[in-house]
Structure 1
Amino acid sequence: MSLGTGVTIRAMRRAELPAAAEVYLDARHAAGAAFPPSVHSDREVRAWVRSWDLSEDLVLGCFGRDGRLQGFAWVSADHLEGLYVDPRVQGSGVGSALLAKVKQVCPEGFDLWAFVTNTAALRFYAAHGLVEVQRTDGAGNEERAPDLRMAWRLERPSG
């Protein structure tokens, strides 16, 4: 799907992180049972997102013509920490555009973790060339919910 004209993907600034927190919360709430219950309050999530270190990590924001944040991808080294899209624009190509940008900024590849129950995200990532490389019972995450690691590696021509 096409994002249309006037949509911009760029590195977010510190002052824009509160908008990222709202997209994160809205997307998680709208996903319902795809996510296990959060172990943090919305207030704690907002404080956590505002604390992200933009000198170490890259947060790519997708902004509409109106300047409103439609989604974001948070990248730390070669790990996609999260990709969240405002539920009002899901299915419009925002997630695909953000993931394509992540592939550009991580040309050697990257990985991510997703909950097993988040089947829509798993299908989305698989459709964009990521493959499952590890599955756990969730003992290593805060929610204690089964998850899996997916990875994308740029395929290089042989020879």
Structure 2
Amino acid sequence: MSVALRAAITEDAPHVAEVLLRSRKAFLPYASLAHTDAEVHQWVREVLIPSGGVTVACAGPSIVGVLAVEREDGISWLNQLYLAPSHVGRGLGTRLLGHALQSLSLPVRLYTFQANVRARRFYERHGFKAIAFTDGGANEEHCPDVLYELASPVSVGA
């Protein structure tokens, strides 16, 4: 099935929240959610989607991927990149990352958990370099994380 990318709209909020929740629960069991499912749904509806910069990946009528970006103080941030567990390993993450990099100016930064080896390999494969490691004291999950940066242009293909 083909996957189309488009800007998220308010009506997508419940589906976006479900992708985030399912992905977090499937792939990040060591990083307990700091919020209830209802709070995540509310945050997506009231904060994430209205902030702009959110792209959804749709397979037919289903949202199967979420990307959220922003620009702050001269730095582009990749804040969310989550896929429905059933769509991991199919090139969709690469496609969403490529979509983000087409519109973001360098440098591009992101955080991921140190224990998220799969995500770390993914970002490193696409040219991101680890620039800082933390003990997790500043994130809601209190999980050690790593700050990545992409400072040079790269070609990201599907």
Q: By the TM > 0.5 criterion, same fold?
A: yes
Q: TM-score, normalised by structure 1?
A: 0.87
Q: Quote the residue 2:129 is aligned against.
A: 131
Distance 1:32 1:141, change over 3 A: closer
2:90 maps to which of 89, 92, 99 = 92
Alignment of 1:22-33 (within 5 A): 22-33=18-29
Q: Quote the residue 1:82 is aligned against.
A: 80
1:49 maps to which of 44, 47, 72 = 44
What letter corresponds to residue 37 of structure 1 in structure 2? Answer: S
Residue 70 of structure 1 and its aligned partner are, at CA, apart by 1.1
43-52 or 20-29: bigger deviation: 43-52
Structure 1 runs (4+) greater than 4 angstroms displaced: none
1:59 maps to which of 54, 61, 65 = 54
What letter corresponds to residue 11 of structure 2 in structure 1? Answer: A
Stretches of structure 1 lacking an aligned partner (at least 5 in a row):
none
Count matched residues: 150
Residue 69 of structure 1 and its aligned partner are, at CA, apart by 0.8
Residue 153 of structure 1 and its aligned partner are, at CA, apart by 2.4
Q: TM-score, normalised by structure 2?
A: 0.87
Distance 2:111 2:16 in 1: 19
Q: Among the aligned pairs, what percent are the same residue? A: 31
Deviations 1:53-112 (A, max 9, x none): 545431011111x22111011112111111000001111111110000011010323111
Stretches of structure 2 lacking an aligned partner (at least 5 in a row):
none
Q: Once superposed, what is the RMSD of the aligned Cα atoms? A: 1.7
- Asked if the contact 2:34–2:141 (Cα under 8 Å) also holds between the matched residues in 1, the reply is yes
Q: Quote the residue 1:39 is aligned against.
A: 34
Distance 1:55 1:46, change over 3 A: closer
Q: Secondary structure at the match of 1:61?
A: strand
